[in-house]
Structure 1
């Protein structure tokens, strides 16, 4: 199925499971020694001062519990769009206002807002062409409700990008290994808390001809020792097209695919996906491939 309008909003029931720790210490008072009687001693040679090794520059860790980084700030404009998915919510449309902090995380995407102390974003990635991440802690609000994220299995995955002005007439692109958010557990068969989040990898291809864009996608998701695969092969007739495959709008396995402007003659293939693993547990996540 293709959607030529870039906005999808579907509410699906979901359930959450919660979990948390800390500690502190303080130094003791120093012991003060009493001066002994002065005794003459032989002169002592000056100590040998070792030469310090060269300082190796390091990248500072992200603020708070945020993880990931971006190579440049996302350039938001009239052609900016977004995809957003959480338990019970899939949304996509014009990005409009986008707020990005120093870590590269987005806190405002169109009419969706992340607040809270702490507010934590994981797997931050992107550059001038896109911004991706997973809201892990905080509270996000939207036009018809609000959801609190406590760091359990509930997460909200997002990507903001710029839509293509037009599709090329011909060409075959090579895509990179992709940037992924950690797939998060959304329901199905029960799993332990250690399997609330998993890992993902994948491959993608894009080509153009007179009928439009032909895209193919394969994503492997794993969590808790179980695996699942998302595959999609579809066509897009226009630059702003969105294609939904499989059971993305329900439970099971499927994806929502979009093309984006990667800048400097490059392209983006963006996928919000759902995967059912072999153990019957359901997960969802976000992936962005750079293609040229």
Structure 2
């Protein structure tokens, strides 16, 4: 019995198995993680610092009343302390600034037809001192009216007076109603120079009686006054006392007042 071919066949099968390539195994992730070198990780850059917060100053100066009156007290509001602003200084071109206990409240007394107010403000969050300029137009104080009274009543220039009524006169200055309501401290007037003359036709009949206060005694005219005469009142000077006690002359023309004597 021949056995050689079987031996040869087994040898060839064994040789073929040895020559086959081995099937690759899948890589273990844990092994790969251990075998791969981790690159150096740089720390994240720090977040940029927040920009400083800009606090805007007040856009304009606040006025207690919309009209700024000449040589009178005009209150100005310079801002709001709740926003952190601090008033460094205030000055006015064309007027005088009076400080108060409140650094954000000042009083302006204009001495020109226009005033420029400059306020320097500082905020703790900002280094710069910020100037605020505001131009203000100034309005003249409304002219007052003069009332001549006798025995507490206004003299009626149409009806006139009798000669035996010539005793005493008073000159009262009545301020503009709106101005007196808004600025009572600046609406105090007084006649400081006025005179009364007894006249017949176009000629004076006596020497004028002059007064520097609100009252005038006319008793000397009583004996010489006749029906048809005229009592001529001339107001020479009126002053206004402002809120600081300063006396300011009122520049206006007071037409003579002619009162007929019956």
Quickly name the TM-score band, shorter chain normalised.
Answer: under 0.3
Q: When the two structures are superposed, what TM-score results if normalisation uses the length of structure 2?
A: 0.25
User: Which structure's residues are more often helix, by fraction?
Assistant: 2
TM-score by length of 1: 0.23
The structure with more strand, counted as a fraction of residues: 1
